[in-house]
Amino acid sequence: MIRRHLSFAPGMTFILTLPILVWLLARPHPAGSQKQPIAWSSKEGPIAKDLDGLRQMPDDARARTTRQLAAAIRQLPVTPNKLRLAVQLASLSTEGDFGHDALQEVATTLADSLREQPIPSKPGQPAVPYVELAQLVRYEHVQSSLDDPQFATAMSKIDADDERRQAANFTLTDLQGQSWTLRDLGGKVVLVNFWATWCPPCLKEMPDLERLYEQFKDQGFVILGISDEDVNKVKPFIAKRNVTYPVLSDPGRKVNELFQINGIPKSFVYDRSGRLVAESIDMRTERQFLEMLGQAGLH
């Protein structure tokens, strides 16, 4: 279940699946101890199974099932598994266009679970579930009344990250050897998209990005796709899919780190004056991308 792309050091990459979520949420284990498989209860097991199959559902069924799962998780007894399920649902609920109501249900479920089971934090570093909730509130425009210092810290970190992205500049080379500098593109609407060949949600949105590029490129629209993978892997991959917008190489992840990218796909839209006007924390549909571009004055 690919959702998060975590890079702890150059060349070391982890894909955040449910077991890694469990690792992030679990208490420290004694040195040398072994983690046991998750033991789901009779009520939790069917929910976990439905979550595993959520990505394979058609969008209309997925939206309906997302709301149903959120309600089902809220009804569970208070156990660590309840919070695990709420976090995984949150991480899957932003992969597309499933409606504001579904996202609000997901956020409510996660916030309720955190009220029931607050998680200890490291100094200045909110735990993963608080970050998930903060991202839903900021980027999906849902509401949460959770009163918790870690949630407030997560929201503050998002503000700081957005300030860095607003001021960001970079120069990278595309697959044809042409150099691109973000701040040299003044007067154009620029969509910066972070992606990878191994990321299913990234690949799902790529055809929509290509259609939008063809539709608006003559109006001064530029897409800069950024990958941290080896050029020799990316180049044939892009050629096979007939992607014509610039794809840039970030092998040292300097730009990924500048933009605080800890999950993909992520997209950032700058208007013609260079102002960051819209961003997404996950996959977007063509309709959702059009809404983002509309905030930059592109219609």
User: One digit per residue, pLDDT tens: the chain, 299 residues?
Assistant: 344 443 333 333 333 433 334 434 444 434 444 557 899 999 999 999 999 999 999 988 999 999 999 999 999 999 999 999 999 999 999 999 999 999 999 999 999 999 999 998 888 789 999 999 999 999 999 999 999 999 999 999 999 999 999 999 999 999 999 999 999 999 999 999 999 999 999 999 999 999 999 999 999 999 999 999 999 999 999 999 999 999 999 999 999 999 999 899 999 999 999 999 999 999 999 999 999 999 999 99
Domain assignment of residue 32, yes or no: no
Measure the CA–CA gap between 17 and 215, rounded to whole angstroms: 36
Domain assignment of residue 299, yes or no: no
- Whole-model pTM: value is 0.86
Q: Are the C-beta atoms of 249 and 234 separated by less than 8 Å?
A: yes
Q: At which of 130, 162, 194 does a domain end?
A: 162
113 and 185 together in one domain? no
105 and 189 together in one domain? no
178 and 194 together in one domain? yes
pLDDT for the residue 121 = 80
pLDDT for the residue 35 = 59
Q: Structural domain tally of the chain?
A: 2
Place of tokens 């956020």: 107
191 and 118 together in one domain? no
Q: In what order do the strands lie in the sheet with 221-227?
A: 179-181, 171-174, 247-249, 221-227, 189-194, 266-270, 276-280
- Measured in degrees and rounded to the nearest 5, phi and psi for residue 12 equal -115, 110
* Residues spanned by the domain of 182: 170-294
Side-chain-side CA neighbours of residue 247 (13 Å): 25
- Cα 248 versus chain centre, distance: 20
